[in-house]
Amino acid sequence: MSMALDTEIQATDSAVNVDGLAEFCQDLFYTFTRSDQRKWGEAYVRGLVIVPGRKTVRKISELTAGGGAEQCLQQFVNQSTWDWTAVRRDLARHLVREVRPKAWVIKEVVFPKNGNSSVGVARQFPQSSNRLINCQRGLAIFVVGDYECYPVNWRLLLPQSWAKDRTRRRSAHVPDDEAHVPQWRSMLDMIDEMITEWGLQPAPVVADIRSVKRMGPLLQGLEALGLHYLLRVPENRPAVTIDADLSTRRTLSFGEVIGSSLRRNGPWLRTWQVPPTLPGRSPLVVTSLPAEGSGCIHFPEPYLAAVPQLPRRARPSRHVAAEWSSARQGAKSTWLTTVDMFSKPDMAELTTLGDRAGHHLDDLYANTGLLHFEGRSFAGWHHHVTLVSVARAWSHLFSAQSAL
């Protein structure tokens, strides 16, 4: 190793505390069947933590293994058979003991790509980009506490164009049982895995579902799991249908529900204004929706038998919340929720957690190498994002503890 490279490693290590990183990785990688897998797993995580700028496999090899290990690292990430699910499970269990999550926040993850060979790449319209781009799309669940925010679970969203393209699937080593599924289905699968297979104590689910086409099955699944949720919805999405008199039947959007409650011309509504909890935030207007089948008001998107394996439960009370701008007499954001903010107004803070997770996702893009995956395989994508989760946890929580 050259003196210049050795100096660079020492300077980088001094900027980021890596004392105890080896032990931390060994605790998480104990399920790996071979010692060389554990070695390269630690090297890759160390590189994600200490390598400045773009975290290529070549730079990681140079800064963590003295060079010459590029092929080994590539093989470890893209072709090795180690189980990413076990690493995510153990990391999540470790983190929830430290963080005590206020919510599980689901965020869309976008990986812009050139070409069309990388797994899941297609011309798509991500909600977060608001334009048509060539990319991979995924989902991440963040556990969010008072100050902490960490990704613990991931899903790659396979586009419809990949469903039966055997050539591309074979090239990217996509398992036969991996298919194109609706986004709501992936959300429920991730949450169900964390509860039933990982044994985590659930927290309220926060997500932006303005681009999710089928809201009914998602609500059914969350409620069948007994979860509270706070879902950002389009202001113009249908919320309730009033049909007391067929001649006056009308459907109100979420925005119209809030407007009606503020004008006091919806006698079946219960409305309360929650004071802002953070500087610069507008007050929340919270309105209860009537239970389905109560009198003449019905939720316009009926329950569907979409998740038959989940137990059926009594439907909880639903509410509409809106961050209300008195200046423009309109909603800045609109939410559908089962969280009772009438009795627990401090729960209004949940509406801010999606933005906080978004800021942390930007940091993952910029500083933890999330966008720097070099490979095309299905397993490689999952391996990379899992190791990014490990690096994030170490650099933002456990490294600080080891320094005490």
pLDDT at 152 over 80: yes
Per-range mean pLDDT, top range of 247-256, 264-273, 298-307, 376-385: 376-385
Beta strand residue intervals within 177-318, DSSP E: 205-208, 229-232, 238-242, 250-253, 271-274, 284-288, 297-298
The helix or strand, by DSSP H or E, that contains position 381, with its residue range, turns out to be helix 378-393
CB neighbours (10 Å) of residue 160?
Answer: 10
Stretch among 9-13, 105-109, 205-209, 247-251 having the lowest mean pLDDT: 9-13
What residue ranges do the domains of the chain occupy?
A: 215-338
Q: pLDDT: is 398 or 94 the higher one?
A: 94
**Cβ neighbour number for residue 268 with a 10 Å cutoff:** 15
Exposure string of 291-314, with b = 16+ CB inside 10 Å and e = fewer, is eeeeeebbbebeeeebbeebeeee
Cα distances from 374 to residues 67, 87, 311, 318, 319, in angstroms, run: 17, 21, 41, 44, 44
Tell which residue, 101, 190, 108, has the closest CA to residue 147: 101
pLDDT the model gives residue 3: 37
Residue 306 has pLDDT above 90, yes or no: no
Query: Using alpha carbons only, what angle is made at residue 114 by residues 110 and 117, rounded to the nearest 5 degrees?
Result: 95
pLDDT, the chain, mean? 84
pLDDT of residue 264: 63
pLDDT above 50 (res 267): no
Is residue 204 pLDDT above 80, yes or no?
A: yes
- Give me the phi and psi of 266, to 5 degrees please: -125, 85
Nearest 10 degrees: CA dihedral of 339, 340, 342, 346?
-50
CA distance 39 to 396: 22
pTM: 0.88
Residue 250 confidence (pLDDT):
76
Query: Quick one: what percent of the chain has pLDDT higher than 70?
Result: 81
Looking at residues 13-38, what average pLDDT do you find?
Answer: 84
Tokens of 9: 């490693």
Pairing relationship of beta strands 229-232 and 205-208 according to DSSP bridges: parallel
Instruction: Note the pLDDT of residue 134.
Output: 95
